[in-house]
Amino acid sequence: MPLYAAYGSNMHPEQMLQRAPHSPVAGTGWLNGWRLTFGGADIGWEGALATLVEDPDSKVFVVLYDMTREDEENLDRWEGSELGFHKKIRCRVHRLSSDTDSTDPVLAWLYVVDAWEGGIPSARYLGVMAEAAEIAGAPEAYVRDLRTRPSSNVGPGTQL
């Protein structure tokens, strides 16, 4: 099965149970040479969306899923791929081995926002991402970085 690498709110197991119920977690890992950022504030419901940009000095924590074709199609709809909000790319993920601290590179696909970098995510969205990273076993410093990023209180139904 193809591997999907989630780095945003799709790291959260409850969310993925709704969006891709037949695709189990296949481990965690690091996407080296990429930086977590936010973009597409004009297309998100409540602010900027998580995305990635290449950065040789950075790495991003990911949760890997063994993705069925049916769940991939469902996830594409959730992510707005057919609307052009996200694009799929393939990257090498250094999967964390369950029995050692070493990494095992694997090829996985992921979504990136098809918009300019910039914008502020909502506090709720960052909270979901931080909780998901914590559940998945991300290092404490990584979770803390998510929790302390600048955010807005903009949410669905909020009037500006």
Q: What is the CATH number of the domain that holds 76?
A: 3.10.490.10
Which is the catalytic residue, given 70, 79, 131, 134? 79
Residue 44 scores a pLDDT above 70: no
In a domain, 95, yes or no: yes
Under the banding of pLDDT at 50, 70 and 90, the label for residue 33 is: very high
Is position 91 within any domain?
Answer: yes
Does residue 111 surpass a pLDDT of 90?
Answer: yes
Burial code (b: 16+ CB inside 10 Å, e: under 16) for 122-133 equals bbbbbebbbbbb
pLDDT at 160 > cutoff 50 = no
156 assigned to some structural domain: no
Domain annotation covers residue 155: no
Tell me whether residue 72 is one of the annotated catalytic residues: no
Q: What percent of the chain has pLDDT over 70?
A: 88
- Whether 1 has a pLDDT exceeding 50, the answer reads yes
**Annotated binding residues, as ranges?**
4-9, 125
Is 160 domain-assigned? Answer: no
List pLDDT tens digits, range 48-102: 999 999 999 999 999 999 999 999 999 998 887 666 678 899 999 999 866 545 5
- Provide the domain count of the chain: 1
Is 13 part of a structural domain of the chain?
yes
Which residue segment(s) compose the domain that 139 sits in?
A: 3-147
Binding-site residue set for substrate? 4-9, 125
> What is the DSSP track for 79-118?
HTGGGTSEEEEEEEEEEEPSSSS-EEEEEEEEEEESS-B-
